[in-house]
Amino acid sequence: MVDGDNIEAVCRAFSAHSRTRRCPPARQSKAGVINCDLGMSKPFDIELERLTSQASYSEIVRGVAAGQRGTFFLETFGCQMNDHDSEKVAGLLLSRGYQQVETPEAASLILYNTCSIREKAAQKVFSRLGEYREKQSEGKVIGVLGCVAQQEGEEIFKRAPWVSLVCGSASYRKLPDMLTQLEAGNQRVTGLDTDTDATFETEVTRRDNPWRAYLTIIEGCDKACSYCVVPFTRGPERSRGSDSILKEVRQLAELGYSEVQLLGQTVNSYADPTPRKMRFSELLLAVADVQGIRRVRFTTSHPSDFTPDIVEAIEGQPKICDHVHLPVQSGSTRVLRAMQRTYSREEYLEKIAMMRDANRPIAITTDIIVGFPGETEFEFEETLSLLEEVQYDNLFSFKYSPRPNTPSLSMSDSMLEEEKGRRLAVLQDRQREIQSAKNARLVGKRFEVLVSGKSRRENQWSGYTTSHRMINFASQERELLGTYVQVRVTGASPNSLLGDHAV
């Protein structure tokens, strides 16, 4: 998918759990059952137990049924990690007796989980808060979570005095305390520390996707890319213990999840804090070994920490998906240095060669920023030539957006928006051609697909291959959601495949 400068759309689309498949805020239809649409023709019921983990099911149901603490509406913007943070925040609230509702009108607590990776995303937050202004006078509590909360801090109270709670993602473990203060009538509560070595683990996670579970294994970021707000908004890197990760994966498998996706801004920088000191590749293998787990995904990998043992793990264990998202950002070593990306074009290409030499084909996708301060036409062409050389399976591309607190803010950003837009369009056109040609070569091949969507059109289904290609296919079967089927490819477009159920 080539998605213009819409970073949220990109993060979502690349994610295994795209916004189009986002479960709308769950409706409680009967005790212990969530009614979920998942953008499909017909809603279907999922037992609440299947949407949770590490949970005492009866406790949740008791709390929800009691509904002692009112209702909450939670809206999420941004990347897959934000989506998953929201799943954990929702679980936390459900376990405290709040009930999730579909509209701000029906809620006593309105939460907005935000993204500030580029300017437009941050601006959107304040326009949305404006819409909530009169809600406070109706007695509703309004809270801002996530990256904008961390970045703007108490400024939010000045710009939007109707907000009562501001909590950055590095402080989510303080949310229960903050909620207690709000329940006690406190008007203003904040959680803005980033100097933490703790990860955000919850007893209950209200998972949106009934088949694929997300698990953050590393939070924050210790890299210092000169354009990026993440180290400021998500705090320093901290990894979750391998024992706790594996325990949760076992619980997820028992609950019927067959695919897990390990998340982190630099997921492969994982550093196990337990005495076991599992390497990232060992963790991948251990997760794949859990009975009931059929697919293991991971995102996002940083090129500098992408080591041969990760490729060996993919080669040796078919349950580890044959897809690596390895953001390059630029094809020019000079620009990479200015971005503080810690590798050169040649070093990046060595990582690609390592994957191309694997005994199993590996799909490779990337992120690219065009119009970084000082990027010359020649340097932009170096990025185009990298595209030719690597032949990516998918690409997410962005116009450079200057962000507060970042080192690149002080670099001269004199390129006109028009020129940034031109470069983006040229890059995307070229990638579209590459994807068209690559996907056309897949016609006639068979793939295993995890079925995750049912079209409103009869007998039409959709799902993902292990290489994370979206495939729409026809089948006469009555119920396929959540199952793995063989699909033969009959047609291709740049962003998806067409096929028939092969029995």
Q: Give residues in contact with ligand SAM (CB under 6 A).
A: 7, 79, 117-118, 227-228, 230, 265-266, 300, 302, 327, 329, 367, 369, 398, 400-401, 403
**Least distance (Å) between residue 78 CB and ligand SAM:** 8
What is residue 329's DSSP assignment? B
Residues 186-225: x where in contact with ligand SF4 by CB under 6 A, - otherwise, as a string? -----------------------------------x-x-x
**Least distance (Å) between residue 10 CB and ligand SAM:** 7
Nearer to ligand SF4, 150 or 266 (CB): 266
Q: Tokens 């501001």 sit at which residue?
A: 166
**Least distance (Å) between residue 477 CB and ligand SAM:** 37
Nearer to ligand SAM, 72 or 372 (CB): 372
Going from the C-alpha of 245 to that of each of 150, 214, 238, 280, 369, the distances in angstroms are 26, 11, 14, 12, 33
Q: Tokens 């990347």 sit at which residue?
A: 79
Q: Tokens 């170096």 sit at which residue?
A: 382
* HEC readout, 120-164: HHHHHHHHHHHHHHHHHHCCCEEEEEEHHHHHHCCHHHHHCCCCC
Within 10 angstroms of residue 474's Cβ, the number of other Cβ atoms is: 16
Nearer to ligand SF4, 78 or 231 (CB): 231
Query: Do the beta carbons of residue 60 and residue 52 sit within 8 Å?
Result: yes
**Least distance (Å) between residue 482 CB and ligand SAM:** 29
Verify binding: residue 267, ligand SF4, rule CB under 6 A.
no
Verify binding: residue 81, ligand SF4, rule CB under 6 A.
no
Q: Which of 12, 302, 423, 454 binds ligand SF4 (CB under 6 A)?
A: 302
The interface partner of residue 475, options being ligand SAM, ligand SF4, none and the CB cut-off 5 to 8 Å by kind, is: none
Query: Do the beta carbons of residue 166 and residue 149 sit within 8 Å?
Result: yes
The interface partner of residue 401, options being ligand SAM, ligand SF4, none and the CB cut-off 5 to 8 Å by kind, is: ligand SAM
| C-alpha to C-alpha distance for 66 and 58, rounded to whole angstroms | 12
**Cis amide linkage into residue 383, ω under 30° from 0:** no
Nearer to ligand SAM, 211 or 343 (CB): 343
Nearer to ligand SAM, 36 or 355 (CB): 355
Nearer to ligand SF4, 136 or 304 (CB): 304
Name the amino acid, one letter, at 391.
Answer: Q
**Least distance (Å) between residue 221 CB and ligand SF4:** 3
* Geometric angle at alpha carbon 385, from 379 and 387, rounded to 5°: 115
Nearer to ligand SF4, 261 or 265 (CB): 265
Q: Which of 266, 299, 394, 467 binds ligand SF4 (CB under 6 A)?
A: 266
* Geometric angle at alpha carbon 86, from 496 and 88, rounded to 5°: 115
**Least distance (Å) between residue 340 CB and ligand SF4:** 8
The interface partner of residue 27, options being ligand SAM, ligand SF4, none and the CB cut-off 5 to 8 Å by kind, is: none
The interface partner of residue 118, options being ligand SAM, ligand SF4, none and the CB cut-off 5 to 8 Å by kind, is: ligand SAM
What is residue 8's DSSP assignment? H
Verify binding: residue 337, ligand SF4, rule CB under 6 A.
no
Q: Which of 7, 101, 228, 434 binds ligand SF4 (CB under 6 A)?
A: 228
The interface partner of residue 117, options being ligand SF4, ligand SAM, none and the CB cut-off 5 to 8 Å by kind, is: ligand SAM
Q: Tokens 């590393």 sit at which residue?
A: 218
**Least distance (Å) between residue 438 CB and ligand SAM:** 21
3-state secondary structure of 374: coil
**Least distance (Å) between residue 225 CB and ligand SAM:** 6
| C-alpha to C-alpha distance for 63 and 465, rounded to whole angstroms | 39
Reference 433, options 492, 361, 498; nearest CA is 492
Query: Do the beta carbons of residue 70 and residue 109 sit within 8 Å?
Result: yes
Q: What is the DSSP string of 162-202?
A: T--EEE-GGGGGGHHHHHHHHHTT-S-EEE-----------
List of residues contacting ligand SF4 (CB under 6 A): 221, 223, 225, 228, 230-231, 265-266, 302
